Amino acid sequence: MIDFTPFLMNEAQSTQIVKQLALAEGFDFCGISKAEFLEEEAPRLENWLKSEKHGAMQYMEGHFDKRLDPTKLVPGTKSVITLLYNHYPKQPLPVNDNYHIAKYAYGQDYHQVIKIKLRNLLDGLRKELGDIEGRAFVDSAPIMERAWAQRSGLGWVGKNSLLLNKSMGSFFFIAELLVDLELEPDGPTADYCGTCTRCIDACPTNAIDPYQVDASKCISYFTIELKEAIPDEFKGKFENWIFGCDICQDVCPWNRFAKPHSEKEFVPITDLFEMSRKDWEVLDEDAYRRIFKGSPVKRAKYSGIKRNIEFVKGQ
């Protein structure tokens, strides 16, 4: 790494260092935005909440201003650094005679894995650029991460409401660093969904409107976020998903460009390759704790997984 003198560093040079260090830490893409109020997102978020499309996720109603303005979340923030980290598996889990879990949950909890990388990146930036202040986030704060990723040129928000990247599809995690450093912002990319409606057509619960998902109808919401009973009206529509759902991603044409990740922490838990539908159904709490130690699946808790299996069973 070139040893630039901090007081001689301009925005372009600082930005180059940020992106070099991000790639060296294993992130697939890095984009920069100026930290400011997300004016276009404000009415969309307000209407989504007023329409109660967030379901029982009451936490979505809080920190409205902070969601839209990173300078209120972290005072002094000047730039939003957005990063993508691939989680597409080399080998999918068996699908025949089996229940399904989302690909992002095949291995260890991404929060811990990526948070360490973000801290390493921030430490590296301080060594190269001086005493900067910043905070790291990965799906752990009221941040409109897809909006920032789109602003930073990392992709566009597709009709399934997920960020789509022309080079790698949508199977990745989004993370942010909010820093008090002036950087050179990237520009947004165009929308390449075109007339395609595969995600909308494939959703078995009709949760997707163009560019917006009604979480209160989404399989991922039901199997992870919802704590009470799943509404009977959705019986027979889960297509064997018991934790999360990848349907709208699996059918997306842009995911033909998805490439297997190289993160050892995301390698599928070995037991999952050997589990059949019957194994899931007789899973006891001790086995659940052993198999899914450190896994995102722990978020649903044992009672939640058993509830999901009972709901899907026999479909």
- In 10 A of CB 251, how many CB atoms? 16
CA 63, 296, 68: angle at the middle one, nearest 5?
20
Considering the candidates 3, 97, 123, 139, report the single residue annotated as catalytic: 139
Q: Catalytic: 191?
A: no
CB 221 within 8 A of CB 55: yes
3-state secondary structure of 81: strand
What is the identity of the amino acid at 109?
D
Q: State how far the Cα of 88 lies from the Cα of 106, in Å rounded to an integer.
A: 10
Q: State how far the Cα of 48 lies from the Cα of 53, in Å rounded to an integer.
A: 6
CB 189 within 8 A of CB 156: yes
Sequence-ordered list of residues with C-beta below 8 angstroms from that of 232, at least 6 positions apart, any chain: none
Q: Is the C-alpha dihedral spanning 76, 7, 80, 150 positive or negative?
A: positive
Q: Which residues are catalytic?
A: 139
